[in-house]
């Protein structure tokens, strides 16, 4: 590579910078020696340029073109090299054949990919939440089964369970007490006395041979099924002063072990399954209102007591739920009579 230089410091600097760039390009594309030396028969690549009077430099084209006839005082130079291959512009990471064919630029493609990824993540997270929510035991069951009674189902706010006293040991096996319950036997009394001024009046009663008709909730229904529940007797009561509502449910199971297990399981699952309330114009459990539940193992029977105020408000010091519960348990006299029938009267 040669070039004629003028005696000007400014021209020297411009020329040096320009020729350095061209020389670098020529080195990158060099392919062997020229055809005149017996090497590759590749075309020569030449670049010539001219320094003008103003100090700038102009390229005048490939070798063989007329570009050496510049103005007086100009100088020419040429850079020759072997033919060089064209370098393709690297494809963007965000180019996809289908989107490119649709005429979308790389930046548009990138935006589409980002949006699709976000939508996929959100959809996946939603699906994961749904799957995780369906794996639980307590809360998901409550949500799934509350729909059976409606979104504002009446449920006890608190629950207590008691195992069977030794008195009922003779009733631990239903095989020894095979006689079925009757409505008259369990709900023979139309009134239960709470105090001299307060009574509970029976306003509705029902005896079901299918316990699933009287209960709801997956866990409770499974427990009742495993316990071979054959009868569910329910009685609905209204207080004489109109302030209270109560329901007593008596379940007939196969043995004492099953009865104790069901009462115990309700300590955890009572909000996910309970007795279905009977309905009457004089007594109704207020949806979302306060009420209390209790479970009692009685040999192979289970008694469920459910009490609340008709206004749905929390009880105060004036509300004697203990006395109301004891009065409602008067329905258990039928079970006591069965103990006596097996063991005989006490001496």
- Mean pLDDT per 10-residue section of the chain, whose length is 347 residues: 45 46 48 43 43 47 44 43 52 62 69 75 63 46 45 84 94 94 95 95 96 95 97 97 97 97 95 94 90 97 97 93 95 94 77
CA 140, 145, 151, 154 dihedral sign is negative
In the prediction, which pLDDT does 111 show?
Answer: 74
Q: In this structure, how many other beta carbons lie within 10 angstroms of the beta carbon of residue 102?
A: 11
Are the CB atoms for 231 and 183 separated by under 8 Å?
no
Dist. CA 11–CA 16, nearest whole Å: 8
Are the CB atoms for 215 and 227 separated by under 8 Å?
no
In the prediction, which pLDDT does 116 show?
Answer: 74
In the prediction, which pLDDT does 84 show?
Answer: 53
Torsion of CA 279, 285, 291, 293, to 10 degrees: 10
CA 129, 132, 137, 141 dihedral sign is positive
DSSP per-residue letters across 271-322:
TS-EEPPP-BTTB-PPTT--EEEEEEEETTEEEEEEEEETT-PPP-TT--HH
Q: What is the DSSP letter of 255?
A: B
In the prediction, which pLDDT does 153 show?
Answer: 74
119: burial class by Cβ within 10 Å (0-12, 13-18, 19+)? exposed
Burial readout 206-241 (b: 16 or more C-beta within 10 A, e: otherwise): bbbeebeebbbbbbbbebbeebebbbbbbbbbbbee
In the prediction, which pLDDT does 346 show?
Answer: 65
Dist. CA 302–CA 233, nearest whole Å: 11
Torsion of CA 162, 274, 215, 264, to 10 degrees: -30
In the prediction, which pLDDT does 322 show?
Answer: 95
């Amino acid at each position: 590579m040669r070039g004629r230089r003028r005696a000007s410091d400014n021209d020297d600097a411009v020329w040096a910078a320009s020729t350095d760039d061209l020389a670098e390009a020529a080195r990158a594309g060099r392919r062997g020696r020229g055809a005149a030396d017996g090497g590759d028969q590749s075309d020569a690549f030449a670049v010539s340029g001219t320094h003008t009077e103003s100090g700038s430099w102009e390229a005048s084209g490939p070798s063989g073109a007329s570009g050496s006839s510049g103005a007086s005082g100009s100088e020419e130079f040429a850079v020759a090299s072997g033919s060089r291959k064209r370098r393709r512009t690297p494809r963007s990471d965000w180019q996809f054949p289908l989107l490119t064919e649709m005429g979308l630029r790389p930046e548009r493609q990138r935006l589409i990919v980002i949006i699709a990824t976000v939508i996929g993540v959100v959809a996946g997270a939603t699906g994961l939440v749904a799957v995780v929510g369906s794996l639980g035991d307590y809360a998901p069951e409550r949500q799934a089964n509350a729909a059976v009674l409606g979104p504002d189902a009446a449920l006890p706010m608190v629950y207590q369970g008691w195992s069977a006293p030794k008195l009922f040991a003779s009733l631990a096996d239903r095989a020894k007490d095979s006689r079925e319950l009757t409505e008259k036997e369990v709900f023979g009394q139309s009134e239960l006395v709470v105090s001299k001024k307060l009574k509970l009046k029976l306003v509705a009663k029902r005896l079901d041979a299918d316990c699933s008709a009287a209960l709801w909730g997956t866990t409770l229904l499974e427990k009742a099924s495993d316990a071979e529940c054959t009868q569910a007797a329910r009685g609905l009561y209204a207080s004489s002063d109109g302030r209270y509502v109560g329901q007593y449910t008596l379940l007939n199971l196969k043995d004492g072990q099953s009865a104790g297990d069901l009462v115990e399981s309700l300590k955890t699952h009572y909000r996910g399954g309970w007795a279905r309330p009977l309905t009457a114009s004089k007594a109704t459990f207020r949806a979302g209102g306060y009420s209390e539940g209790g479970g009692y193992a009685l040999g192979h029977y289970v008694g469920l007591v459910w009490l609340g105020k008709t206004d749905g408000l929390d009880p105060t010091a004036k509300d004697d739920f203990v006395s109301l519960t004891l009065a409602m348990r008067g329905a258990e006299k039928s079970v006591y009579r069965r103990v006596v029938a097996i063991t005989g009267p006490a001496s």
